[in-house]
C-alpha cells in the first residue's frame, strides 16, 4: 500500500512541476544560457544606444525625425531571443540526450502532464527573465542616450507597451522553441530549425516580389517582434498586440503538435 501511495504521489502534477523547477535551477547549461540571454540583450542594446548617441550629430535629419529611442534601446532582443529560445529547446532535448527523459515519462501517469509541467514552469522562468532583461535594456539604453539624443520614458505613448510587450514576445517565442525541441528531439536539429524560422526565413522572403513579400512578412515572428519593440505603427504589419496574438496561436499549434508527437511515439 505504501508503495502504491508513493507512486501516485510522484505522478501528481505538482510533483512534476517541482521536478521541472529542480531541473531548471540545477542544470549548469540553464544558468549559463540565462546569463547569455541577459548579456546579449542588455549588452547589444547598450552598444546600439551608445553608438547612436556618439554619432547623433552626423545622423541625417530625416532619420532624426523618425528616431525611436525605445526601439533602439531594445535592439539586443534580436539576439537575446535566440538565446532564450535555445534554453526552451534544451528544456526537453537535454533530457533526451542524457536518456533521463525515459525515467521522467515512466514516472508520470500521463505524458501530456509531463509536457504541460515543462511548459508551465519554463513559461514562468521565461516571462520573469525576459521582462527583467527587457526593462533593464530599456533603462540602460535611455541612460546612454540621455544628454545627446531624444529619450523616452515609460509614461510616453506606447512605451510601456513596447517594453513589457517585448518581454512577452521573447517568452512566447521561447515556448515556441520548446515545442520545436519536443518535435525534433535533437538539440542541434531543433536549434537549426528555430534559427531558420526566426532569422533565415525573413531573409528568404525578401527575395520574393515586393507585393508578395510584404503580405508574407507580416506573419513572421521576426516582424512581430520588431513591431512590438517600436512605439510607432509599422507599415504593412499587424498591430503590436494583434501580432503577439498571432504568435500565441503559432505557439499553441506547435505545442499541440509536440504533445501529439510525444504521446504517439516511444520515449
DSSP code for 58: G
CA 89 to chain centre: 11
Domain range enclosing 217: 2-263
Q: What is the pLDDT of residues 190-207, one digit of tens each?
A: 999 999 999 999 999 999
Provide the Cα torsion 153, 175, 35, 93; round to 10°. Answer: -170
Angle (CA) 122-183-200 rounded to 5° is: 90
Total residue count of the chain as it appears in this document: 267
Number of domains the chain contains: 1
Q: How confident is the model at residue 8 (pLDDT cuts 50, 70, 90)?
A: very low
- The backbone region for 236, taken as left when phi is positive above 0, alpha when psi lies in -120 to 50, beta otherwise, is left
Q: 17-57, pLDDT tens digit by residue?
A: 888 898 888 878 888 889 999 999 999 999 999 999 999 98
207 by DSSP, 3-state: which? coil
Higher pLDDT, 129 or 266: 129
Confidence tier at 11 by pLDDT (50, 70, 90): low
Model-level pTM? 0.92
* Contact present, 250 and 194 (Cβ < 8 Å): no
Four-CA torsion 93, 132, 252, 104, nearest 10 degrees: 30
Give the per-residue pLDDT at 27: 78
pLDDT digits (tens, 9 = 90+) for 72-115: 999 999 899 999 999 999 999 999 988 888 888 888 878 999 99
Residue 65 grid coordinates: 525625425
Measured in Å, how far apart are the chain's first and last C-alpha atoms? 28
Which H helix or E strand runs over 102?
helix 100-107
| Alpha carbon distance 36, 42 (integer Å) | 10
Orientation of helix 111-145 relative to helix 77-98, angle to 10°: 150
Amino acid at each position: 500500500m505504501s508503495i502504491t501511495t508513493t507512486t501516485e504521489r510522484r505522478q501528481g502534477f505538482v510533483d512534476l512541476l517541482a521536478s521541472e523547477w529542480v531541473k531548471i535551477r540545477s542544470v549548469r547549461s540553464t544558468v549559463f544560457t540565462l546569463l547569455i540571454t541577459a548579456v546579449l540583450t542588455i549588452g547589444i542594446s547598450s552598444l546600439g544606444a551608445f553608438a547612436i548617441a556618439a554619432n547623433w550629430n552626423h545622423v541625417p535629419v530625416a532619420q532624426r525625425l523618425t528616431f525611436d529611442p525605445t526601439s533602439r534601446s531594445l535592439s539586443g532582443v534580436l539576439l537575446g531571443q535566440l538565446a532564450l529560445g535555445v534554453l526552451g529547446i534544451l528544456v526537453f532535448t537535454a533530457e533526451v540526450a542524457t536518456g533521463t527523459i525515459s525515467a521522467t515519462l515512466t514516472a508520470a501517469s500521463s505524458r501530456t502532464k509531463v509536457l504541460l509541467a515543462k511548459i508551465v514552469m519554463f513559461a514562468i522562468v521565461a516571462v520573469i527573465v525576459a521582462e527583467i532583461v527587457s526593462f533593464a535594456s530599456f533603462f540602460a539604453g535611455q541612460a546612454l542616450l540621455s544628454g545627446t539624443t531624444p529619450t523616452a520614458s515609460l509614461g510616453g505613448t506606447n512605451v510601456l507597451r513596447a517594453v513589457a510587450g517585448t518581454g512577452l514576445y521573447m517568452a512566447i517565442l521561447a515556448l515556441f522553441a520548446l515545442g520545436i525541441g519536443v518535435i525534433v528531439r535533437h538539440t542541434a536539429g531543433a536549434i537549426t530549425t528555430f534559427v531558420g524560422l526566426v532569422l533565415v526565413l525573413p531573409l528568404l522572403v525578401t527575395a520574393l516580389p515586393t507585393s508578395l513579400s510584404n503580405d508574407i512578412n507580416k506573419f513572421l515572428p521576426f516582424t512581430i517582434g520588431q513591431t512590438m519593440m517600436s512605439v510607432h505603427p509599422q507599415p504593412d504589419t499587424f498591430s503590436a498586440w494583434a501580432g503577439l496574438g498571432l504568435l500565441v496561436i503559432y505557439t499553441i499549434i506547435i505545442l499541440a503538435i509536440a504533445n501529439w508527437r510525444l504521446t504517439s511515439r516511444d520515449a
